[in-house]
Amino acid sequence: MIRISIAIIIAFIVVLFFLFPSNNFKEYEYLKDPKITAFPREKMLVVEVTGDPNVVSGQAFKTLFKAFYKLKKISKGLKISAPRARWPKPPETPKNEWVGIYGLQIPETVETLPAEKERSSLSARIEYWEYGIIAEILYIGPYSEETPAIEKLHKFINDEGYKIMGPHEEEYLKGPGMFFKGNPKKYQTIIRYQVSKISPNE
pLDDT single digits (tens) 120-173: 778 999 999 999 999 999 999 999 999 999 999 999 999 999 999 999 999 999
Share of the chain above pLDDT 90, in %: 57
As for how many domains the chain has, the answer is 1
* Alpha-carbon span 141 to 112, nearest angstrom: 37
Inside any domain, residue 132: yes
Closest alpha carbon to 146 in 83, 191, 177: 191
Give the domain CATH number at 135: 3.20.80.10
- 96 assigned to some structural domain: yes
- pTM to 2 decimals? 0.85
Q: Annotate 133-177 with three-state secondary structure.
A: EEEEEEEECCHHHCHHHHHHHHHHHHHCCEEECCCEEEEEEECCC
Looking at residue 177, its pLDDT comes to 61
Q: Is residue 202 part of a domain?
A: no
pLDDT-derived band at 2, boundaries 50, 70, 90: very low
Confidence class for position 17, pLDDT limits 50, 70, 90? low
What mean pLDDT do residues 173-188 have? 76
Q: Does residue 92 lie within any of the structural domains?
A: yes
Within-domain flag for 106: yes
More confident site: 64 or 72? 64
**pLDDT for the residue 51:** 95
- Flag whether pLDDT at 67 surpasses 60: yes
**24 — pLDDT class (breaks 50, 70, 90):** low
| Residue 170, in any domain of the structure | yes
Q: How confident is the model at residue 80 (pLDDT cuts 50, 70, 90)?
A: confident
Q: Which domain holds residue 66?
A: 2-197
Q: Kindly tell me if the per-residue pLDDT of 78 is higher than 90.
A: no
Helix (H) or strand (E) segment spanning residue 28: helix 25-28
Q: Is residue 15 part of a domain?
A: yes
CA 20, 24, 29, 32 torsion-angle sign:
negative
Is 115 a domain residue? yes
